[in-house]
Structure 1
């Protein structure tokens, strides 16, 4: 009868787990060890230290002891085991850890503790020591920590310390430890794409390293100099400071590399073909380091159709917000805006905050390092409503209106290598508000309006190295107050009293139609960021043929031929500048928005 009942009802099973059993058992074993009860082996260190233990506990805690006591080694029969090279205090701490799971780690004992943990194969204890040292990492000691990690063969500490050395190289380069690096170690840092240092500092670091031991290190100058990415160094610094450095002048290869850059810049080319310097081409095309990032900046213009704006903003992609930079020193109507060598230039314009407006030759610059406006060498001619474009180490200023309010065809060029302006060949035809872009040794001027404000259907092309213009009529071109932007080998002309966007393929010499804008757009601005075209503000013509100011912020992807809204500007804006500036991240790899630039979030 009982068996029938058991078959009819399912058997209930209670799975019990005693949460305190394992910790209680460990405590009991530790008490037995302390009272020397059932201990069957003593671990010895030095002459006076004997620590009674239980073999089964040691075997269970470490592969080292398992191999010692479970195989046919002599220690299996011994009751006293001497562990050479392990200090008595360290051995005592490790045995306490085995029986309790607790240990105190300090800078005084961490190195011998790691060495003992490695020898006795206590992996978790070894990594705990590594974690402790990682918490002590700083730019001042990270190179020493790398040396320590090599002594104890700790990969996790080495990787973390190297990561800090790369990200904090601006600080690390000033430490004495850097001068103790071997040549391969220093080369490893200087060729790292992720190195957080400006190229000027890379050069100064290698010079300091050589001067630390000039007799044995002087011969390394040419190998080290190849790690400096010359294309991304300001020409003034390169040709006036680096070129005149005694170390560089002592090396024929270094001077040849600098001359190759000089020839390339004077030729007006961005592409290196068949230069005589050994291995120059791969050095020239080396990318910016990952510590550099591109930032979209909007500056000046007419704000909310009320007055000319002094605002300068940048878009923080990480938090999807616009943030303020320092304000322009003066209100300028129809100035031009251009970026060169990570510096924003605001050129000319009509002064708008004086009783008597004047056409200006003044050039204002803003560096993202300092977030301060300064004045640069002024233009040769005052002008406003003109166009500016940068190419290599040049800024070209084209056309516009002079003090007499008449349209001019004059062109002038700023040479950042010599900090001077010079007059260049004038445009074949003076036009107002054309679309302008520079690529492959040429400046392209599309359309615009004549002195009677009629659209012109021409393309004017300037050959930079030859200082010569040519003019072509083209029925496809009919844009006024439209910006141009370059992605790959195509120049995109965006709107201009029309919804149309077209791309001029410079290689194929033909126009390609692209996806239309949502509205007829003019007086807007555009720039390229990460191979996409970003368009800001402007004025548009609504469905009732009324002109309205815009706060639109849109992105065009050439790969998919699609437009995407990126939200809006903090206010309506037109006739402004929209540029991409390259800036150097701080040593922690954070966006500059979190430090000195940020005066507030919009």
Structure 2
């Protein structure tokens, strides 16, 4: 458009350049002012030397440097077919070209050779729009051939994000060992380790004689620490190919003894297992299960916190309304154990175990506990769940403990705790299970730490004046056990090796019946009940976050409603069932 200035009127003709290009094409078609002919075999395309030089660094170098083509009237091009050259020349003179499935690769190769970068990227964009999980691996190979980084990034991103579908494609079976190694070893691969193992074995068996020599190195790409123990013992250990490889057998033995055994790395002949983190594609999700909602009734709701948006999402409801059940996370599933089943006109103490898959957003019934209990504590360690104390069917405070073995899907009785307490804070670290405080049968606080040695199945107790918590959770954060409130504002960090407590920044309220969990390197505390200044009890909908790096508290949001006596867990899962990519 026009613009006025003190010097006069600046006239801008927006259509001038497109009109000029159109007229040049007319001149080309009429062979007016033609000074060079581009030839492919018998195909001859008359052109203007200055137009070609202006459109491409390739032609500019050809016609403006000391090459012999500078003075030639006819130029023979190699490596391009006649139809593609015609489309390129038409693109030069009109700025338009029809990209189709039939011509896209020819256009892309020609655009790369002749240095028409915008056309090259347009072809890349066209291919990206045609990309699917079944062809993205071939797109990666194509991008390497064409040196197209944008296509490669898009294709690799899809291959990693859609791993379960890509693993079924025929293209995966044709990957070379290095390509497969880079693919399966990528931290961004969005799949379960069981799927990674199965994909590897399908690839090897596709050409067994040629590929079996790679099994040892490729097997290391499977992060066996994160495989479900049932799958490990039923499928991986019994695989005939792995059994035929002494090197793989050695790896399996190390994993079996260090990851899937209660007894850890005590054997001096074992090298420490290599540390490989869980893939970045897995995310930590904050989950709330059941509890007393708005001080009215026990709820079946299950809530997931979307950290990016600060919103809460409702998941599949608990199968039963359970009062003071316990909950833990094991093998990327949530377990809800026991509790008092609350129905119309009846209350029954439950020994049921319900298992929730976040990936499927479904509940299923697990192997029931040996003893029905509520107000108990449960905690997971390696492949086991310990269910401790609580109130039994005769309303007695129990000291008993039972252990669930997820490998064999059985419960078994273990040694009872020395002192029967209700509502202690419970944590596990370095093969020891710690019970802090709680209350006795007279509802008096117990100043006691009870310690259970897991591999020895023995207890011992320590009295301490530092403990006076009731209805408080505990978590492990940065190698220390953190006891969060419990009719107090205190946040206590306990170092088991030094047997020392350190006070951290206080919570803003005296809290009890709340939830706590660790996400990343921070502590999240949810809901509960708080004591006001005038000693009244109020339900809470707070969501607070403690950062041990700065020893400070923040409030990233609130719960959808007031809630206490609920399960509060961190569940690791792939994001695709819950979020759009």
- With the length of structure 2 as denominator, give the TM-score of the two structures: 0.96
Distance 1:51 1:96 in 2: 10
User: Does structure 1 residue 465 correspond to structure 2 residue 455?
Assistant: yes
User: Does structure 1 residue 565 correspond to structure 2 residue 551?
Assistant: no
Counterpart residue number, 2:38: 43
User: Does structure 1 residue 433 correspond to structure 2 residue 419?
Assistant: no
Secondary structure, aligned partner of 1:357: strand
- 8 A Cα contact 1:275 1:281, kept in partner: no
Query: Which runs of no fewer than 5 residues in structure 2 stay unpaired?
Result: none
Distance 2:311 2:26 in 1: 62
Counterpart residue number, 2:236: 242
CA positional deviation for 1:103: 1.0
Label 1:485 to 1:93 Cα distance change in 2 as closer, same or farther (>3 A): same
Secondary structure, aligned partner of 1:253: helix
- 8 A Cα contact 1:305 1:549, kept in partner: yes
CA positional deviation for 1:274: 6.1
Q: 2:439 aligns with which of 449, 470, 473?
A: 449
CA positional deviation for 1:84: 2.0
- 8 A Cα contact 1:387 1:436, kept in partner: yes
Q: 2:331 aligns with which of 341, 351, 374?
A: 341
Counterpart residue number, 1:33: 28
Counterpart residue number, 2:357: 367
After superposition, the C-alpha distances for 1:357-402 in whole angstroms (9 at most, x for unaligned) are 2222111111112222211111111111110001111101111111
Distance 1:342 1:106 in 2: 45
Secondary structure, aligned partner of 2:253: helix
Counterpart residue number, 1:387: 377
User: Does structure 1 residue 325 correspond to structure 2 residue 311?
Assistant: no
Label 1:173 to 1:20 Cα distance change in 2 as closer, same or farther (>3 A): same
- 8 A Cα contact 1:489 1:506, kept in partner: no
Secondary structure, aligned partner of 1:196: coil
Q: 2:182 aligns with which of 179, 188, 198?
A: 188
Distance 1:275 1:393 in 2: 23
- 8 A Cα contact 1:489 1:507, kept in partner: no
Distance 1:494 1:151 in 2: 58
- 8 A Cα contact 1:270 1:440, kept in partner: no
Distance 2:417 2:175 in 1: 56
Secondary structure, aligned partner of 1:84: coil
- 8 A Cα contact 1:273 1:281, kept in partner: no
CA positional deviation for 1:150: 2.4
Distance 1:517 1:68 in 2: 74
Query: Which runs of no fewer than 5 residues in structure 1 stay unpaired?
Result: 1-9, 596-602
User: Does structure 1 residue 578 correspond to structure 2 residue 560?
Assistant: no
- 8 A Cα contact 2:427 2:476, kept in partner: yes
By relative contact order (CA 8 Å, sep 6+), the higher-ranking structure is 1
User: Does structure 1 residue 281 correspond to structure 2 residue 270?
Assistant: no
Counterpart residue number, 1:19: 14
Label 1:123 to 1:35 Cα distance change in 2 as closer, same or farther (>3 A): same
Q: 1:524 aligns with which of 514, 525, 528?
A: 514
- 8 A Cα contact 2:333 2:357, kept in partner: yes
Label 1:527 to 1:273 Cα distance change in 2 as closer, same or farther (>3 A): farther
- 8 A Cα contact 2:225 2:259, kept in partner: no
Counterpart residue number, 2:119: 125
After superposition, the C-alpha distances for 1:204-241 in whole angstroms (9 at most, x for unaligned) are 00000011101111121111111111111111111111
Task: Between 60-69 and 15-24, report the one with greater CA deviation.
Answer: 15-24
CA positional deviation for 1:74: 2.7
- 8 A Cα contact 1:442 1:462, kept in partner: yes
Distance 1:138 1:381 in 2: 52
Distance 1:231 1:275 in 2: 20
Report the aligned-residue RMSD.
1.9
Counterpart residue number, 1:421: 411
Q: 1:403 aligns with which of 385, 388, 393?
A: 393
Counterpart residue number, 1:7: none
Distance 2:281 2:238 in 1: 28
After superposition, the C-alpha distances for 1:96-154 in whole angstroms (9 at most, x for unaligned) are 11111111111111111111122222222222211211111111111111222223222
CA positional deviation for 1:272: 9.1
Distance 1:264 1:84 in 2: 62
CA positional deviation for 1:77: 2.8
CA positional deviation for 1:445: 0.5
Distance 2:115 2:74 in 1: 20
Counterpart residue number, 1:140: 134
Distance 1:466 1:246 in 2: 35
Distance 2:66 2:327 in 1: 82
- With the length of structure 1 as denominator, give the TM-score of the two structures: 0.92
Counterpart residue number, 1:155: 149
Distance 1:109 1:266 in 2: 55
Residue correspondences, number: 577
After superposition, the C-alpha distances for 1:171-230 in whole angstroms (9 at most, x for unaligned) are 100000000000000000111000011100000000000111011111211111111111
CA positional deviation for 1:88: 1.2
